[in-house]
Amino acid sequence: MKVLVLNCGSSSLKYQLLDMENENLLAKGLCERIGIDGRLAHQAGDKEYKADLPMPDHTAAVRFVLDALLDKGHGVIKSIDEVQAAGHRVVHGGEHFSGSVLIDEKVKKAIEDCCDLAPLHNPPNLIGINACEKLMPGVPQAAVFDTAFHQTMPPKAYLYAIPYELYEKYKIRKYGFHGTSHRYVAERAAAFMGRPCGSLKLITCHLGNGASVCAVNGGKSADTSMGFTPLQGLVMGTRSGDIDPAAVSFIMEKEGMTVKDVEGMLNKKSGVLGVSGVSSDFRDLEKAAEEGNARAETALEMFYYKVAKTAGEYAAALNGADAVVFTAGIGENSVLVRKKICSYFTHLGLTVDDDKNNCRGREVDFSTAGSKMKALVIPTNEELVIARDTKSLLA
Ligand code: ADP
């Protein structure tokens, strides 16, 4: 079975075509600048195709994706009928979805109802779904939610200490994100350790541009650092993470900012970028810090400290942890970030082997043989989870 995986952003669309007989990646690519002009970058094995193409909307982008997949030169299928299902990443499923589902009108309505909760993400996700319905009529489609894995959190973890009526009226609570990634790396970590996931307490750290930590108890999310929106929690590339809410109204008043201004500032101009004034990219920050840039050094220290403190909270939430797991762009690639974060866990009995830690993008246990707790690198693969869920929904 060939499954097309789609991740639609406001002006972008990432895709992968997977053959689920053997979980082989057949092709992948990215459409950018949708609604502006349009650019496609497509890759199938060692064949690459890049083109500027008119993409006034997501339907046009999906059409170019299908054309690229069908192309005689860089394509991988002969007929569109070979695509037997589409799986969509949907950011927000609210309290409606605790797992992946096949899409029908009711599901679309529920995704639409969550647009208020994720105004930047859910509308393009829905547009992508509608575009596929139009261009691949009759092909089953599945929705895989970033929030679903975290629906197992208990009320003590997901409620905010604000008047309860606000939860009842508007569903204001912690939802958590990156659920597909946390679920995948927790399962892979268990397989790597040769233990059933159900018997393990794990702290999974998804450290990319957006970053979150999750307490995974027996394969289920017990708590996570992102909240009502992906702005809460860790210091991120450009997002502030936790901040005293009173500081927000103070800044708005002093700087004459509107709600939109301040939201933009907290989402796009804060985090390690805001503190360092250098970059949101950890490669640039590590280089600048090495060259003596004090603010870049402080931004990095803040990042390590916040991840470590949050993981420490989760060690308490889980009453101990068998392993800390690192994933995503920074977690998989930065030897320094992993070393610095783990240096806060010696009280939990974690000792790290620097030689083993000196690796990138592959599954590794970099704790020492005598360490009481394990430290793992597990590369994430959200697209594979989406394709697997889609396949199993159709079985
Ligand atoms: P996104 O949240 O956009 O999916 P990724 O998981 O792809 O993010 O992570 C992107 C980030 O990973 C980059 O911004 C960069 O900070 C970091 N990164 C990638 N490679 C390295 C590296 N070799 N060393 C340090 N950081 C890296």
User: Exposure of 262 by Cβ count < 10 A (0-12 exposed, 13-18 middle, 19+ buried)?
Assistant: middle
For ligand 1, is residue 208 a contact (CB within 6 Å)?
Answer: yes
What is the distance in A from the centroid of ligand 1 to the CA of 281? 7
For ligand 1, is residue 7 a contact (CB within 6 Å)?
Answer: no
Mean pLDDT of the 99-115 span:
96
For ligand 1, is residue 381 a contact (CB within 6 Å)?
Answer: no
Look at residue 120 in the predicted model and tell me its pLDDT. Answer: 83
Look at residue 118 in the predicted model and tell me its pLDDT. Answer: 87
Max Cα–Cα distance, the chain, nearest Å = 61
Q: Which domains does the chain have, with CATH numbers?
A: 2-145 (3.30.420.40), 195-377 (3.30.420.40)
What is the distance in A from the centroid of ligand 1 to the CA of 44? 23
Q: Which amino acid is at 389?
A: D
Q: Is the dihedral of CA 182, 187, 191, 197 positive or negative?
A: positive
pLDDT digits (tens, 9 = 90+) for 3-61: 999 999 888 999 999 999 999 999 999 999 999 999 999 999 999 999 999 999 999 99
Count the Cβ atoms, other than its own, within 10 Å of residue 105: 7
153 with 224: CB under 8 angstroms? yes
Q: Ligand 1, closest atom to CA 286?
A: 25
Mean pLDDT of the 215-226 span:
98
Q: Ligand 1, closest atom to CA 210?
A: 2
Backbone phi and psi for residue 49, each to the nearest 5 degrees, phi listed first? -140, 125
| Residue 149 in tokens | 């894995």
pLDDT at 117 over 90: no
Reading phi first (left if > 0) and then psi (alpha if -120 to 50, else beta), residue 196 is in beta
Range in 113-122, 180-189, 330-339, 359-368 with the lowest mean pLDDT: 113-122
What is the distance in A from the centroid of ligand 1 to the CA of 280? 9
Beta bridge partners of 19: 2, 24
For ligand 1, is residue 333 a contact (CB within 6 Å)?
Answer: yes
Residue 336's H or E segment, with its range, is: helix 335-342
Beta bridge partners of 29: 15, 42
Look at residue 10 in the predicted model and tell me its pLDDT. Answer: 82
- Please name the residue whose Cα sits nearest to atom 2 of ligand 1: 209
Mean pLDDT of the 306-322 span:
97
Q: Which of 37, 52, 116, 146 is catalytic?
A: 146
Look at residue 116 in the predicted model and tell me its pLDDT. Answer: 86
| Residue 362 in tokens | 């592959």
For ligand 1, is residue 9 a contact (CB within 6 Å)?
Answer: no
What is the distance in A from the centroid of ligand 1 to the CA of 337? 11
How big is the CA angle at 256 (ends 253 and 258), to the nearest 5 degrees? 95
What is the distance in A from the centroid of ligand 1 to the CA of 331? 8
- Please name the residue whose Cα sits nearest to atom 22 of ligand 1: 333
Look at residue 119 in the predicted model and tell me its pLDDT. Answer: 85
Backbone phi and psi for residue 44, each to the nearest 5 degrees, phi listed first? -135, 105
Percent of the chain past pLDDT 70, that is, above it, reads 100
- Please name the residue whose Cα sits nearest to atom 21 of ligand 1: 333
Q: How far apart are CA 386 and CA 379, in angstroms?
A: 16
DSSP class of 80: G
Ligand 1 pocket mutation, candidates 276, 330, 336, criterion most atoms within 8 A of CB? 330
Q: Which amino acid is at 382?
A: E
**pLDDT category of residue 97 using cuts at 50, 70 and 90:** very high
Count the Cβ atoms, other than its own, within 10 Å of residue 273: 20
Look at residue 241 in the predicted model and tell me its pLDDT. Answer: 97
pLDDT digits (tens, 9 = 90+) for 55-73: 999 999 999 999 999 999 9
- The residues, any chain, with a CB within 8 Å of residue 185's CB and separated by 6 or more, are 204, 206, 325, 327, 378, 380
Ligand 1 pocket mutation, candidates 28, 30, 209, criterion most atoms within 8 A of CB? 209
> To the nearest whole number, what is the mean pLDDT of the chain?
96
Ligand 1 pocket mutation, candidates 238, 290, 334, criterion most atoms within 8 A of CB? 334
327 with 185: CB under 8 angstroms? yes
How does strand 364-365 pair with strand 323-327? unpaired
- Please name the residue whose Cα sits nearest to atom 3 of ligand 1: 209
Q: Ligand 1, closest atom to CA 281?
A: 16
Ligand 1 pocket mutation, candidates 304, 333, 362, 378, criterion most atoms within 8 A of CB? 333
- The residues, any chain, with a CB within 8 Å of residue 270's CB and separated by 6 or more, are 238, 239, 240
Q: Number of C-alpha atoms within 13 angstroms, CB side, residue 284?
A: 10
pLDDT digits (tens, 9 = 90+) for 326-385: 999 999 999 999 999 999 999 999 999 999 999 998 999 999 999 999 999 999 999 999
For ligand 1, is residue 334 a contact (CB within 6 Å)?
Answer: yes
pLDDT at 318 over 90: yes
Tell me how far apart the terminal alpha carbons of the chain are, to the nearest angstrom.
Answer: 11
Packing angle of the helix pair 259-268, 245-255 (nearest 10 deg): 120
110 with 358: CB under 8 angstroms? no
269 with 262: CB under 8 angstroms? no
45 with 53: CB under 8 angstroms? no
Look at residue 343 in the predicted model and tell me its pLDDT. Answer: 97
Told to judge if 37 belongs to the known catalytic residues of this protein, a careful annotator would answer no
pLDDT digits (tens, 9 = 90+) for 135-150: 999 999 999 999 999 9
